[in-house]
Amino acid sequence: MYELNCAGIIPGCERVIRAESQAEVVRRAVVQARQLGFEKITPALLDSFREKTTELPN
């Protein structure tokens, strides 16, 4: 299981995103960013999502 707290990445986001894969966490973070008004998802933003995603212990 992977987790991303998007509060420090996407202004106005207080959501913690969890999914079975890092790719799914990033995909959900992109959806969340678009819902909060981000029209363009930059490579730097994607890198932030990947860097801040943590793997939870089993």
Please name the residue that has the structure tokens 């509060």. 7
Q: Give tens-digit pLDDT for 22-49.
A: 999 999 999 999 999 999 999 999 999 9
pTM recorded for the entire structure: 0.90
Q: What angle do CA 52, 12, 50 make, to 5 degrees?
A: 15
Q: Write out the residue range of the structural domain in which residue 41 sits.
A: 2-55
Helix (H) or strand (E) holding 19: strand 16-19
In whole angstroms, give the CA distance from residue 50 to residue 23: 8
Contact 18, 28 (CB under 8 A): no
Domain count, the chain: 1
- Average pLDDT score over the chain: 94
